[in-house]
Amino acid sequence: MEPGRMEHGRMTGVRLESRDLALLGGDEGEGARLAMSILVRMADVVGARELLDITAAHIDSSLYQGPATLEFAERLADGGARVRVPTTLNVSGVDEHGWREWDVSESWAAPARRQMEAYEAMGCEPTWTCAPYQTQARPGVGEQVAWGESSAIVFANSVLGARTERYPDLLDICCAVTGRAPAAGLHLTGNRAGQVFVDLSGVPRRLAEEPALYPVLGHWIGLRVEGRIPVLDGLPVRPGEDDLKALGAAMASSGAVGLFHWVGLTPEAPDLDAAFQGREPATRLRPGPAALRTARDELGSGLSDAEGLDLVVLGSPHFSLSEFAALARLVKGRRRHAGVRMLITTGRAVRALAREAGYLDAIESFGGELTVDTCILTTPMLPESIRRLMTNSAKYAWYTPGLLERAVAFGSLADCVESAVAGRVTRDDGAWTSEP
């Protein structure tokens, strides 16, 4: 089909292949027809001239947000829609087996479970995690995929070097059902060039060695790049995978960043010239310790040091196996304050690995609790008595005031443990006051 021709009574500028037209014509059922019709319409909206093949998908639409998202999922499934590529599922609207341990009503849990069942019926893998890369097969450099969930998108694009746009809910499953995606945005090489240079040479080594730097740095960058692609260089230490996970999630939360480059570390940035594809940066940023400490403090909302706590919450994005190991070391032989609960959210596969490794023994002896499949931002699970939270996640800290209407404090993982023991916010500011 040539662009500009009529299709089902509507003009499209997207070049469609015979297999696309077959799906549009209903050759493979109503579910596939609906998915392709939405995909073609959205390809028009974003200005794509053609569709491209994808090899995998990660679905954020699996999250129950009310009757409309359930109706859409069941309409696809009842129409015979089935995914054409390996497809993982993001967090759901409920911890399928542990929801009764929290303040979740049956009126919420029942439709949320139905939505989970609809996506599984379409052939999606029941991973129920915002960090599928922790246990599932990872897409390779240059591989075209369709991922939803902001923190997963930025990780796939940046750390793995795969290619995905920032797919919104409902469009991601349409890509999975058709095996196709609009040839636009971050799928295309020319759109992946760096735009903002972030010079990290002003960050002191002591602060660079502090794990809490990365979510704070991501938050600081996200607020300043206006959705553009940052290129980072100059830090005196090499961050690990959990650091990059936290960095990207924070950028995606505060700044809608879908891709970053780290010179000498991420796949598309062997050097500055490659990261910028030979272009000059539009903007240059150089954060120092004072600016970063201010950014850390801004992540808190309505809760100051020395105030009492109700909950320490960890795991956004979902806690990794190495994070469980770190937490187990910090809490071993200790006990949380009677007035403070500790909640860790993670994927069911990582929980199983952490149990097998023995990490959960120390955490549960400390008084820590786990929930899988979901998180506090997507399930109405917190009782009204929990009003004051602390977290090491910039994403949790960014969204908690608006989505949960709770006060929140941000600190490192070690700070969170010490605060859980003390029953109040306590933080070690040493690294944040060091000089270059």
Q: How many other C-beta atoms are found inside a 10 Å radius of the C-beta of residue 430?
A: 10
- 240 burial (CB, 10 Å; 0-12 / 13-18 / 19+) is exposed
Taking 50 as the pLDDT cut, the residues of the chain under it are: 1, 3-7, 9
Burial of 278-291, coded b for 16+ CB within 10 Å and e otherwise, reads: eeebeeebebebeb
Q: Which pLDDT score, from 0 to 100, does residue 434 have? A: 73
Domain 300-424 sits in CATH at 3.30.499.10
| 196-241 confidence digits (pLDDT tens) | 999 999 999 999 999 999 999 999 999 999 999 999 999 999 999 9
For 327-340, how does the pLDDT look when each residue is reduced to its tens digit (9 = 90+)? 999 999 999 999 99
The pLDDT assigned to 10 comes to 56
Q: Which pLDDT score, from 0 to 100, does residue 129 have?
A: 97
CB of 310 closer than 8 Å to CB of 340: yes
Q: Tokens 């019709």 belong to which residue? A: 37
**Cβ(64)–Cβ(104) under 8 Å?**
no
Q: Which two tokens stand for residue 58?
A: 């990660």
Q: What is the pLDDT of residue 275?
A: 98
pLDDT number for residue 11:
57
Q: Which CATH class is domain 6-189?
A: alpha beta
Nearest to 436 by CA among 210, 122, 275, 207: 207
Residue 4: per-residue pLDDT = 43
Residues 6+ apart with CB under 8 A from 40: 7, 12, 14, 16, 20, 24, 51
Q: What is the DSSP letter of 366?
A: H
Task: Fill in the DSSP letter of residue 432.
Answer: G
User: How wide is the angle at C-alpha 91 spanned by C-alphas 90 and 94, nearest 5°?
Assistant: 150
pTM attached to this predicted model: 0.95
The amino acid that residue 235 corresponds to is L
How far is the C-alpha of 355 from the C-alpha of 159, rounded, in Å? 27
Alpha-carbon distance 13 to 126, whole Å?
36
